[in-house]
Each structure stands twice: as structure tokens, then as C-alpha cells.
Amino acid sequence: MSIIIDGKTKVLIQGITGKEGSFWAKHAKEYGTNIVAGVTPGKEGQEVDGIPVYHTVRRAAAEHKIEASLLVVPPRFAKGAIFEVLDAGIKIIVVTAEGIPLHEMLEVRRVALSMNALVIGGNSTGIISTGKAMMGFFPYWLERVYKPGRIGVMTRSGSLTNEVTAEIVKAGYGSSSVIAVGGDPVPFTRFVEILPLFEKDSETDAVVMIGEIGGTMEEEVAEAIEQGIFTKPLIGFMGGRTAPKGQKMGHAGAIITAGKGTVADKVEALTKAGALVADRPSMIGALLDQALKG
């Protein structure tokens, strides 16, 4: 069992003929992902590593039963590409584009929620059900980083993900699914909306959350634990601990507002809820042992 995708999920890649799209389509296919089609306007009839390319999502969906789409398109085209997928009835979407305008992010989130669709991103490295399938940018060939196991991971940070998953493997564990919600200020899907999927997953024993300064997603997770929505062990790590006070950060999502969103706020809320919080990635393995082995 996996959350969101597995090796049978029929996947479409939008922007498949571009440099990034073709590179990761090839690697995802090698990993076992069931990529059935790609879309690039004006490129219908071509193939990428044996994957047929279509002008539009609707034309691709008419030929294949598509269940999920990975968008590898520039931010200015992301909103239109997402709505094209939703219009075709596809309910799982992963968006890699960074810097989508805020008002478009809000509009997409509202529409997706109204359609009961799951849109991950923007600015996401993707999702991976380890050992089964991936939609995004993961160096799966590094076994010291991506080894199948029973620890779920959800993350805001692309750069910290590999470091943390490596610590999970080093401690003798592995990951069940890794979900990168993205680092933009208004993600299409929030941590607290991913937690119920891990809660129901019989192959996930605990979850590691890689958070950051800014926003309130981590505090929302603490509330979900307190309310009994999530009952499995949760280990947190917060990026941005050394950020100077009053300094504006370059990361789009790392914005502290109205006295909320600091590392201290997040650690306090999670600890109060019963989660374990690592001061540094190297502590994660020991905290997993503490949570799972007593």
C-alpha cells in the first residue's frame, strides 16, 4: 500500500519534451512509474523514451486512462495546465513550478478543494512511493537516501529532504512515501491534509516532518495530533533555526508574520502535542528509535 501513487497509477507528464521533463520522465519510467503519455502543445506524434506525446491533456486522456499528472512547465503556464488537467477529470496533480503568482495559487487551491482533487506544490520536488513509483525529482538511485521502509516523510524543503531521508536510512529504517508540499507561501496542499493519508496507510509506522520557519503548517499538525486526527509517532525537524531575527529570507515560504511562524513557536506547539523534535538531522534516527522501540 502507498499513499497517493503506486506502480499501477497511470501517469501523464506535461512538458515532457523539455529538458527537465524528458530527463525525469526517463528516470521515473526506469524506477517503475507507469507513465502512459506526455503532453506538449505542437509536439503530438513524437515519443520520449517510448512514451507517446499529445497536443493536449484531453487528447491524451481520450487514449489512456490517466490518473495523475506531473507538471514540468514554467510558472506562467502552471495555472492553465492545472485547470486543463482538472477539466479532464484527473484528480492527482504534482506541480514543480516555483514562483506561481499568489492570487493564482489561491484560485487553484479553491478550485481543487471544490473538486476533491489533490494538487501538490507549487515549488515541489514531487512525491515518491519508495521502491514503487515517483512523480518528480528524486535521486532514487542513491540507496543511502531512498530505501523502501515504513517511515512517511512530508517536507517543505527540497534541499533538506535528501539529508533527512539519508538519516532515516542510516538509522536502519526506510521511507514508505515522501511528499514534498513545496516551499511557496500558499501551497496547494498543506501538511495537515496529508496526515490522514499516512494515518490510514498500513505500511507507515511513523512520520517525519521537515518544516521551516514561516507560515503555520507545523502548528496545524500539532493541533491535528492533539485532536486525535493523527495518532502515529511524529518526528519534526525545523529548517531556519539560525536565521537572524528581523531578517527577510529568500525562501518564498519562509516569512514570519504577526509574531507567528518562528522555529520556537513550532517546536513549542509540536512538543506540547507529544511530537518529538530534532535539533539537527543527525538526531532523527535516535528519535525514531525512541518513538518506535521505546
Asked whether the predicted pLDDT for residue 168 surpasses 60, the reply is yes
Q: What would you report as the CA-atom Rg of the chain, rounded to the nearest whole angstrom?
A: 19
What are 177's three cell numbers? 512515501
- Determine whether 246 is exposed, middle or buried from the number of CB atoms within 10 Å of its CB (0-12, 13-18, 19+): exposed
Catalytic residue among 27, 55, 103, 251: 251
- Could you report the per-residue pLDDT of 58-112, keeping only the tens digit for each? 999 999 999 999 999 999 999 999 999 999 999 999 999 999 999 999 999 999 9
| 68-71 vs 92-95, strand pairing mode | parallel
- Could you report the per-residue pLDDT of 226-268, keeping only the tens digit for each? 999 999 999 999 986 655 555 444 454 545 454 567 889 999 9
The DSSP H or E segment spanning 238 is strand 234-239
CATH fourth-level superfamily of 142-294: Succinyl-CoA synthetase domains (3.40.50.261)
Number of Cβ atoms within 10 Å of the Cβ of 274: 12
pTM of the predicted protein model: 0.93
Domain boundaries, the chain: 1-123, 142-294
1-123 under CATH 3.40.50.300, yes or no: no
DSSP string, 39-87: E-TT-TT-EETTEEEESSHHHHHHHS---EEEE-S-HHHHHHHHHHHHH
Is 64 one of the catalytic residues?
no
